[in-house]
Copies of this chain bind each other. A is one copy, B any other.
Amino acid sequence: MKKQLIILVCLITLPVIAQSQQPGRGMPEIVSPEINQDHTVTFRLIAPNAKEVMISGDWMPSQGWSPGSTAMVRDEKGTWTFTSGVLPSELYSYFFLVDGLRCMDPNNVYMIRDVATVTNIFLVGGGQADLYAVNDVPHGTVARRWYDSPGTDKVRRITVYTPPGYEKGNDKYPVLYLLHGMGGDEEAWLTLGRTAQILDNLIARGKALPMIVVMPNGNVAQEAAPGESDAGLYKPSFQVPNTMDGKMEETFPDIIRFTENNYRVQKNKAGRAIAGLSMGGYHTLHISRYYPGTFDYIGLFSAAIMPNEKADSKVYADLDATLARQKANGYKLYWIGIGKTDFLYKAVSDYRTKLDRMGMPYQYRESEGGHTWANWRIYLSELVQLLFN
């Protein structure tokens, strides 16, 4: 009995010991980040041997292309601390620079990968970011599946959100096809975009109708996100071949076919929406006019609107004529969102001028900020409330 008690004690204390030995052998346990009552946030790092510790957070004003950063303050024991000002409700990301070396916060296990970099994240609630939190509401299902794509001659990975209640009953659901930007993949809208939380929360509040959200991988050269295909655990890169050459648009019917053959969905224009950010906005623009009788709802988020005459694809031929056909076929909502400081602002303005000239109606949303996931989460939150009504 005594021996077994010792085993029990070992079992319980083993990883606690192992854990407390890094990073601060013998150092007290700390919490970082700590969201304070007043919505300031305190960060802590035990690094007694460091000469300079900076924190870089996405709420700090950036310096040119460089994200902003600020110095942390060392106490006599070697714990570095920084407390932010009051932060508006949002999902934030940050990392430390320890004597110039980019380090994750060893006390924060919550991280998101964006292309080839990983940052720690935290949530400040009490506002917009309550939509990004997991709340005590009914939750949908998130499935990672693989679909046949004869158009790309591949079997490809895809993420599907089905709303709470989908598995019970026989209702047919509308579908939002949601496309990522350059460097992203079928994980991006779920991790950086908090899609499952946004949908769960808005459906629970009665602000969005239950819908299925299909998040494909828009890089037709890939079978799946980095680490999720037989290409192995390679270093991801922003540039993947064949991202904006028409192949994604051409092979999009493979994704619709998979969805409509595998889910209880409304198989008509009124039951289909498509939206995307940046490159995904470009894909959305072209897919929705190339298949002009397919979608009643179109959302362009910071869309990378640019000519692509070099791409040898029939998809990009007859832009004006196909837009005119899309207009003639009719749609319920053409939604365009862009940040005031987005580097694509001018391109989107020019596109709006074109639509104005053609008399193609659209709803326009201009937000603060630039080409950021903060904006795309806001746009998604707003768009889904307008769908399928």
Query: Does B278 contact A11, Cβ atoms closer than 8 Å?
Result: yes
Query: Does B99 contact A134, Cβ atoms closer than 8 Å?
Result: no
In the bound assembly, the distance between CA atoms of A144 and B139 in angstroms comes to 10
Query: Does B11 contact A344, Cβ atoms closer than 8 Å?
Result: yes
A110 cross-chain contacts in B, Cβ below 8 A: 227, 233
A236 cross-chain contacts in B, Cβ below 8 A: 109
Query: Does A238 contact B304, Cβ atoms closer than 8 Å?
Result: no
Any chain B CB within 8 A of the CB of A123? yes
A4 cross-chain contacts in B, Cβ below 8 A: 306-307, 347
Q: Known interface pairs A65-B21, A278-B11, A347-B7. Does A50 touch B16 (Cβ–Cβ under 8 Å)?
A: no
A interface residues with partner B (beta carbon < 8 Å): 1, 3-4, 7-8, 10-12, 14-19, 21-23, 25, 31, 45-51, 65-67, 95, 97-104, 106-111, 113-118, 121-123, 133-136, 138-139, 141-146, 155, 157, 164, 167, 182-183, 224, 226-230, 232-233, 235-236, 238-239, 262, 278-279, 304, 306-307, 343-344, 346-347, 371
Query: Does A142 contact B139, Cβ atoms closer than 8 Å?
Result: no
Q: Which of B12, B100, B118, B306 contacts A23 (CB 8 A)?
A: B100
Query: Does A136 contact B230, Cβ atoms closer than 8 Å?
Result: yes
Query: Does A51 contact B49, Cβ atoms closer than 8 Å?
Result: yes
In the bound assembly, the distance between CA atoms of A116 and B110 in angstroms comes to 10
CB pairs A–B below 8 angstroms (14 shown): A3-B346, A14-B371, A15-B115, A15-B183, A16-B238, A19-B115, A21-B66, A47-B101, A98-B98, A99-B99, A106-B117, A109-B227, A134-B224, A141-B144
Consensus secondary structure, chain A interface: loop
In the bound assembly, the distance between CA atoms of A1 and B308 in angstroms comes to 10
Q: Which of B21, B100, B233 contacts A122 (CB 8 A)?
A: B233
A278 cross-chain contacts in B, Cβ below 8 A: 11
Would you give the shortest CB distance from A124 to chain B, in whole angstroms?
Answer: 11
Query: Does B141 contact A19, Cβ atoms closer than 8 Å?
Result: no
Query: Does B155 contact A139, Cβ atoms closer than 8 Å?
Result: yes
Closest 6 interchain pairs by CB? Answer: A23-B102, A49-B99, A143-B143, A22-B102, A139-B146, A103-B103
**CB-based nearest B residue for A48:** B100
In the bound assembly, the distance between CA atoms of A167 and B95 in angstroms comes to 42
Q: Which of B31, B102, B183, B226 contacts A235 (CB 8 A)?
A: B31
Query: Does B12 contact A238, Cβ atoms closer than 8 Å?
Result: yes
Q: Which of B45, B101, B167 contacts A49 (CB 8 A)?
A: B101
Would you give the shortest CB distance from A249 to chain B, in whole angstroms?
Answer: 17
In the bound assembly, the distance between CA atoms of A51 and B49 in angstroms comes to 9
Q: Known interface pairs A65-B14, A145-B141. Does A109 touch B101 (Cβ–Cβ under 8 Å)?
A: no
A sample of 8 more A-B contacts (CB under 8 A), given A123-B232, A141-B146, is A11-B343, A19-B117, A23-B97, A47-B101, A50-B101, A102-B106, A110-B227, A133-B232
Q: Which of B102, B142, B229 contacts A144 (CB 8 A)?
A: B142
In the bound assembly, the distance between CA atoms of A92 and B283 in angstroms comes to 39
In the bound assembly, the distance between CA atoms of A122 and B7 in angstroms comes to 32
Query: Does B67 contact A12, Cβ atoms closer than 8 Å?
Result: no
Query: Does B109 contact A116, Cβ atoms closer than 8 Å?
Result: yes
Would you give the shortest CB distance from A67 to chain B, in whole angstroms?
Answer: 7
A10 cross-chain contacts in B, Cβ below 8 A: 343
Query: Does A101 contact B143, Cβ atoms closer than 8 Å?
Result: no
Query: Does B18 contact A65, Cβ atoms closer than 8 Å?
Result: yes
Query: Does A230 contact B134, Cβ atoms closer than 8 Å?
Result: yes
Would you give the shortest CB distance from A129 to chain B, in whole angstroms?
Answer: 11
A232 cross-chain contacts in B, Cβ below 8 A: 123, 133-134
In the bound assembly, the distance between CA atoms of A114 and B306 in angstroms comes to 44
A8 cross-chain contacts in B, Cβ below 8 A: 306
Would you give the shortest CB distance from A388 to chain B, in whole angstroms?
Answer: 23
